Amino acid sequence: MGNVIGGLLTSHVPGIGGAIARGVEKDPYWAPFFDGFDPVHDWLAEAKPDVAVVFYNDHGLNFFLDKMPTFAVGAAASYRNADEGWGLPVQREIQGDTALSWHIIEQLVADEFDVTTCQSMLVDHAVVVPFQLCWPGGNAWPVRLVPIALNTVQHPLPSPKRCLAMGCAVGRALERWQGPERIMVMGTGGLSHQLDGQRAGFINQTYDRFCMDNIVHDPDALTRISALDIIEEAGSQGVEIINWIAARGALGEGVTERSRNYHIPISNTAAATMLLTKEPAEAMAA
Protein backbone atom coordinates (compact mmCIF):
# COMPACT_ATOMS: atom_id res chain seq x y z
CA MET A 1 0.00 0.00 0.00
CA GLY A 2 1.25 3.47 -0.81
CA ASN A 3 2.69 5.59 1.98
CA VAL A 4 1.19 9.08 1.77
CA ILE A 5 2.56 10.95 4.77
CA GLY A 6 0.89 14.32 4.42
CA GLY A 7 0.70 17.42 2.33
CA LEU A 8 1.27 21.12 1.95
CA LEU A 9 -1.05 23.79 0.59
CA THR A 10 0.72 27.06 -0.16
CA SER A 11 0.85 30.17 -2.31
CA HIS A 12 3.29 30.31 -5.23
CA VAL A 13 3.32 33.98 -6.29
CA PRO A 14 6.53 34.95 -8.15
CA GLY A 15 7.14 37.78 -5.69
CA ILE A 16 8.05 35.12 -3.11
CA GLY A 17 10.80 33.87 -5.40
CA GLY A 18 11.98 37.44 -5.83
CA ALA A 19 12.15 37.88 -2.05
CA ILE A 20 14.23 34.71 -1.76
CA ALA A 21 16.57 35.91 -4.50
CA ARG A 22 17.06 39.24 -2.69
CA GLY A 23 17.48 37.57 0.71
CA VAL A 24 14.74 39.65 2.36
CA GLU A 25 12.83 36.81 4.02
CA LYS A 26 13.23 38.44 7.46
CA ASP A 27 12.20 41.93 6.37
CA PRO A 28 9.01 43.11 8.13
CA TYR A 29 6.98 42.92 4.91
CA TRP A 30 7.94 39.31 4.21
CA ALA A 31 8.67 37.75 7.61
CA PRO A 32 5.04 37.02 8.58
CA PHE A 33 4.77 34.81 5.51
CA PHE A 34 8.16 33.09 5.61
CA ASP A 35 7.91 32.45 9.36
CA GLY A 36 4.89 30.28 8.62
CA PHE A 37 7.28 27.74 7.09
CA ASP A 38 9.11 27.00 10.34
CA PRO A 39 6.73 24.13 11.25
CA VAL A 40 6.87 22.91 7.66
CA HIS A 41 10.65 22.65 7.84
CA ASP A 42 10.40 20.79 11.15
CA TRP A 43 7.93 18.32 9.67
CA LEU A 44 9.96 17.77 6.50
CA ALA A 45 13.08 17.03 8.57
CA GLU A 46 11.05 14.51 10.55
CA ALA A 47 8.98 12.96 7.74
CA LYS A 48 11.71 12.82 5.05
CA PRO A 49 9.48 12.45 1.95
CA ASP A 50 10.92 10.81 -1.16
CA VAL A 51 8.40 12.07 -3.73
CA ALA A 52 6.20 15.15 -4.04
CA VAL A 53 3.00 14.93 -6.10
CA VAL A 54 2.29 18.57 -6.94
CA PHE A 55 -1.03 19.99 -8.15
CA TYR A 56 -0.42 23.39 -9.72
CA ASN A 57 -1.25 25.58 -12.73
CA ASP A 58 1.11 26.35 -15.58
CA HIS A 59 1.60 30.04 -16.43
CA GLY A 60 2.52 29.76 -20.11
CA LEU A 61 5.80 27.89 -19.78
CA ASN A 62 4.33 24.68 -21.24
CA PHE A 63 0.81 25.58 -22.32
CA PHE A 64 -0.80 28.71 -23.70
CA LEU A 65 -4.28 29.74 -24.80
CA ASP A 66 -4.01 27.89 -28.11
CA LYS A 67 -3.25 24.55 -26.40
CA MET A 68 -4.47 24.27 -22.82
CA PRO A 69 -5.18 20.82 -21.37
CA THR A 70 -7.68 20.63 -18.54
CA PHE A 71 -5.46 18.16 -16.63
CA ALA A 72 -1.86 17.31 -17.57
CA VAL A 73 0.41 14.84 -15.77
CA GLY A 74 4.18 14.85 -16.09
CA ALA A 75 5.90 11.55 -16.84
CA ALA A 76 9.43 12.84 -17.41
CA ALA A 77 12.71 11.65 -15.96
CA SER A 78 13.52 15.24 -14.95
CA TYR A 79 11.88 18.66 -14.99
CA ARG A 80 13.80 21.77 -15.94
CA ASN A 81 12.92 25.29 -14.82
CA ALA A 82 13.20 28.10 -17.38
CA ASP A 83 13.00 31.88 -17.52
CA GLU A 84 9.36 33.03 -17.46
CA GLY A 85 10.11 36.73 -17.71
CA TRP A 86 9.67 37.53 -14.00
CA GLY A 87 13.38 38.14 -13.48
CA LEU A 88 13.68 35.15 -11.14
CA PRO A 89 16.89 33.09 -11.09
CA VAL A 90 16.42 29.82 -12.95
CA GLN A 91 16.39 26.97 -10.45
CA ARG A 92 18.10 23.59 -10.77
CA GLU A 93 16.13 20.79 -12.39
CA ILE A 94 14.03 18.40 -10.34
CA GLN A 95 14.25 14.65 -10.81
CA GLY A 96 11.05 12.87 -11.77
CA ASP A 97 9.57 9.53 -10.78
CA THR A 98 8.42 8.06 -14.07
CA ALA A 99 7.17 4.78 -12.60
CA LEU A 100 4.86 6.54 -10.16
CA SER A 101 3.78 9.03 -12.84
CA TRP A 102 2.67 6.25 -15.18
CA HIS A 103 0.92 4.47 -12.34
CA ILE A 104 -1.09 7.63 -11.62
CA ILE A 105 -1.82 8.20 -15.32
CA GLU A 106 -3.10 4.66 -15.73
CA GLN A 107 -5.37 5.04 -12.70
CA LEU A 108 -6.74 8.35 -13.96
CA VAL A 109 -7.52 6.96 -17.40
CA ALA A 110 -9.13 3.89 -15.81
CA ASP A 111 -11.30 6.31 -13.83
CA GLU A 112 -12.25 8.03 -17.11
CA PHE A 113 -10.19 11.19 -16.71
CA ASP A 114 -8.84 12.17 -20.12
CA VAL A 115 -5.46 13.54 -19.08
CA THR A 116 -2.63 14.88 -21.21
CA THR A 117 0.57 12.90 -20.65
CA CYS A 118 3.78 14.94 -20.79
CA GLN A 119 7.01 12.97 -21.19
CA SER A 120 8.84 16.27 -21.61
CA MET A 121 7.80 19.13 -19.36
CA LEU A 122 9.13 22.38 -17.93
CA VAL A 123 8.08 23.57 -14.47
CA ASP A 124 7.49 27.21 -13.59
CA HIS A 125 7.31 29.22 -10.37
CA ALA A 126 4.18 27.37 -9.29
CA VAL A 127 6.42 24.36 -8.58
CA VAL A 128 9.88 25.81 -7.92
CA VAL A 129 8.80 28.58 -5.50
CA PRO A 130 7.10 26.09 -3.15
CA PHE A 131 10.17 23.85 -3.45
CA GLN A 132 12.39 26.81 -2.50
CA LEU A 133 10.13 27.49 0.48
CA CYS A 134 10.25 23.89 1.63
CA TRP A 135 13.94 23.25 1.05
CA PRO A 136 15.87 26.55 1.24
CA GLY A 137 19.59 26.81 0.93
CA GLY A 138 20.38 25.85 -2.64
CA ASN A 139 21.20 22.19 -2.06
CA ALA A 140 20.00 19.37 -4.31
CA TRP A 141 16.25 18.83 -4.13
CA PRO A 142 15.65 15.92 -1.70
CA VAL A 143 12.47 14.69 -3.43
CA ARG A 144 11.44 13.47 -6.86
CA LEU A 145 8.52 15.17 -8.58
CA VAL A 146 5.23 14.12 -10.14
CA PRO A 147 3.66 17.35 -11.49
CA ILE A 148 -0.07 17.57 -12.22
CA ALA A 149 -1.15 20.79 -13.96
CA LEU A 150 -4.74 22.06 -13.84
CA ASN A 151 -6.18 24.65 -16.19
CA THR A 152 -6.96 27.90 -14.35
CA VAL A 153 -6.55 30.16 -17.39
CA GLN A 154 -8.53 29.19 -20.49
CA HIS A 155 -12.30 28.95 -20.12
CA PRO A 156 -14.15 26.70 -19.70
CA LEU A 157 -12.37 25.83 -16.46
CA PRO A 158 -12.78 22.50 -14.65
CA SER A 159 -15.31 22.66 -11.86
CA PRO A 160 -14.15 22.45 -8.23
CA LYS A 161 -16.18 19.26 -7.92
CA ARG A 162 -14.37 17.70 -10.89
CA CYS A 163 -10.99 18.75 -9.46
CA LEU A 164 -11.80 17.13 -6.14
CA ALA A 165 -12.85 13.95 -7.94
CA MET A 166 -9.64 13.95 -9.97
CA GLY A 167 -7.60 14.40 -6.80
CA CYS A 168 -9.46 11.50 -5.20
CA ALA A 169 -8.57 9.33 -8.21
CA VAL A 170 -4.90 10.27 -7.73
CA GLY A 171 -5.30 9.34 -4.08
CA ARG A 172 -6.59 5.89 -5.03
CA ALA A 173 -3.57 5.45 -7.27
CA LEU A 174 -1.26 6.38 -4.40
CA GLU A 175 -3.02 3.94 -2.09
CA ARG A 176 -2.42 1.14 -4.60
CA TRP A 177 1.22 2.02 -5.21
CA GLN A 178 3.44 -0.85 -4.07
CA GLY A 179 6.70 1.05 -3.78
CA PRO A 180 8.38 2.01 -0.49
CA GLU A 181 8.43 5.73 -1.23
CA ARG A 182 7.23 8.23 1.35
CA ILE A 183 4.92 10.47 -0.65
CA MET A 184 3.84 14.03 0.10
CA VAL A 185 1.14 15.93 -1.78
CA MET A 186 1.24 19.65 -2.59
CA GLY A 187 -1.41 22.05 -3.81
CA THR A 188 -0.03 25.44 -4.83
CA GLY A 189 -1.56 28.79 -5.72
CA GLY A 190 -3.87 31.46 -4.35
CA LEU A 191 -5.45 32.39 -2.20
CA SER A 192 -7.66 35.28 -3.32
CA HIS A 193 -6.05 37.67 -5.77
CA GLN A 194 -6.58 39.47 -9.05
CA LEU A 195 -3.65 40.87 -10.96
CA ASP A 196 -5.36 43.06 -13.55
CA GLY A 197 -8.61 44.70 -14.59
CA GLN A 198 -10.95 46.85 -12.52
CA ARG A 199 -10.55 44.57 -9.47
CA ALA A 200 -6.75 44.46 -9.51
CA GLY A 201 -5.56 43.96 -5.95
CA PHE A 202 -8.82 42.31 -4.87
CA ILE A 203 -8.53 40.17 -1.72
CA ASN A 204 -11.42 38.43 0.05
CA GLN A 205 -10.36 37.41 3.56
CA THR A 206 -13.77 35.94 4.36
CA TYR A 207 -13.62 33.52 1.44
CA ASP A 208 -9.97 32.66 2.10
CA ARG A 209 -10.69 31.77 5.73
CA PHE A 210 -13.75 29.78 4.67
CA CYS A 211 -11.51 27.67 2.43
CA MET A 212 -8.88 27.17 5.12
CA ASP A 213 -11.49 26.32 7.77
CA ASN A 214 -13.24 23.70 5.62
CA ILE A 215 -10.68 22.11 3.32
CA VAL A 216 -9.47 19.54 5.86
CA HIS A 217 -12.72 18.09 7.19
CA ASP A 218 -15.31 19.22 4.64
CA PRO A 219 -13.63 19.72 1.25
CA ASP A 220 -17.02 19.27 -0.44
CA ALA A 221 -17.96 22.67 1.00
CA LEU A 222 -15.48 24.24 -1.43
CA THR A 223 -17.10 22.52 -4.42
CA ARG A 224 -20.63 23.83 -4.01
CA ILE A 225 -20.00 26.81 -6.25
CA SER A 226 -18.72 26.89 -9.83
CA ALA A 227 -15.30 28.00 -11.03
CA LEU A 228 -16.90 31.23 -12.27
CA ASP A 229 -18.39 31.82 -8.84
CA ILE A 230 -14.94 31.32 -7.29
CA ILE A 231 -13.59 34.03 -9.61
CA GLU A 232 -16.32 36.33 -8.31
CA GLU A 233 -15.47 35.45 -4.70
CA ALA A 234 -11.67 35.30 -4.95
CA GLY A 235 -10.57 37.15 -8.08
CA SER A 236 -9.57 35.86 -11.50
CA GLN A 237 -6.37 34.26 -10.20
CA GLY A 238 -8.01 33.16 -6.95
CA VAL A 239 -9.47 30.23 -8.88
CA GLU A 240 -6.11 28.58 -8.20
CA ILE A 241 -7.86 27.22 -5.10
CA ILE A 242 -8.81 24.28 -7.34
CA ASN A 243 -5.20 23.11 -6.98
CA TRP A 244 -5.68 22.96 -3.21
CA ILE A 245 -8.99 21.15 -3.67
CA ALA A 246 -7.42 18.49 -5.91
CA ALA A 247 -4.50 18.03 -3.51
CA ARG A 248 -6.91 17.57 -0.61
CA GLY A 249 -8.70 14.87 -2.57
CA ALA A 250 -5.41 13.04 -3.14
CA LEU A 251 -4.72 12.96 0.60
CA GLY A 252 -7.80 10.86 1.29
CA GLU A 253 -8.97 10.08 4.82
CA GLY A 254 -7.22 10.53 8.14
CA VAL A 255 -5.99 14.08 7.54
CA THR A 256 -5.03 16.43 10.37
CA GLU A 257 -4.14 20.11 10.20
CA ARG A 258 -0.71 20.57 11.78
CA SER A 259 -0.18 24.27 11.10
CA ARG A 260 -1.54 27.18 9.13
CA ASN A 261 -0.45 30.69 8.25
CA TYR A 262 -2.34 33.53 6.54
CA HIS A 263 -0.85 36.90 5.67
CA ILE A 264 -1.90 39.81 3.46
CA PRO A 265 -0.78 41.23 1.24
CA ILE A 266 2.18 39.52 -0.35
CA SER A 267 2.78 41.03 -3.76
CA ASN A 268 -0.92 41.86 -4.26
CA THR A 269 -1.94 38.39 -3.07
CA ALA A 270 -3.50 36.79 -0.03
CA ALA A 271 -0.74 34.36 0.92
CA ALA A 272 -1.43 31.23 2.92
CA THR A 273 0.19 27.98 3.99
CA MET A 274 -1.38 24.88 5.51
CA LEU A 275 0.51 21.78 6.62
CA LEU A 276 -1.63 18.62 6.66
CA THR A 277 -0.46 15.28 8.03
CA LYS A 278 -1.79 11.77 7.52
CA GLU A 279 -2.39 9.12 10.11
CA PRO A 280 -0.65 5.84 9.28
CA ALA A 281 -2.93 3.36 7.50
CA GLU A 282 -2.75 0.95 10.41
CA ALA A 283 -3.91 3.68 12.80
CA MET A 284 -6.93 4.48 10.60
CA ALA A 285 -7.81 0.78 10.42
CA ALA A 286 -7.65 0.34 14.21
Instruction: Read off the pLDDT of residues 201-211 as tens digits, 9 standing for 90 and up.
Output: 899 999 999 99
Whether 41 is a known active-site residue: answer no
Catalytically annotated residue among 12, 193, 217, 263: 193
- Please compute, for residue 64, the number of CA atoms within 13 A of its CA located in the half-sphere on the CB side: 4
Cα-flanking dihedrals φ and ψ of residue 123, to 5°? Answer: -125, 135
What average pLDDT score do residues 45-64 get?
A: 94
pTM equals 0.95
* Residue 284 confidence (pLDDT) above 80: no
Of the candidates 59, 51, 44, which has an alpha carbon nearest to the alpha carbon of residue 12?
59
Asked if residue 106 belongs to a domain, the reply is: yes
Of the candidates 252, 239, 131, 130, which has an alpha carbon nearest to the alpha carbon of residue 188?
130
Distance of CA 51 to the CA centre of its chain: 14
Catalytically annotated residue among 12, 59, 103, 125: 125
CATH number of the domain bearing residue 83: 3.40.830.10
Asked if residue 151 belongs to a domain, the reply is: yes
Asked if residue 132 belongs to a domain, the reply is: no
Asked if residue 126 belongs to a domain, the reply is: no
Number of compact structural domains in the chain: 1
Asked if residue 149 belongs to a domain, the reply is: yes
Distance of CA 2 to the CA centre of its chain: 20
- pLDDT classification of 65: cutoffs 50, 70, 90: confident
Asked if residue 186 belongs to a domain, the reply is: no
- pLDDT classification of 137: cutoffs 50, 70, 90: confident
How do residues 93-122 score in pLDDT, each as one tens digit? Answer: 999 999 999 999 999 999 999 999 999 999
Whether 125 is a known active-site residue: answer yes
What average pLDDT score do residues 138-143 get?
A: 90
* Residue 86 confidence (pLDDT) above 90: no
Is the previous residue joined to 160 through a cis bond, with omega within 30 degrees of 0? no
Asked if residue 93 belongs to a domain, the reply is: yes
pLDDT at 280: 60
pLDDT at 1: 53
Identify which has the larger pLDDT, 197 or 43: 43
* Domain, as residue range, for 241: 3-116+137-158+172-181+191-198+205-285
Asked if residue 167 belongs to a domain, the reply is: no
Say if CB 223 and CB 160 are below 8 A apart: yes
Say if CB 260 and CB 275 are below 8 A apart: yes
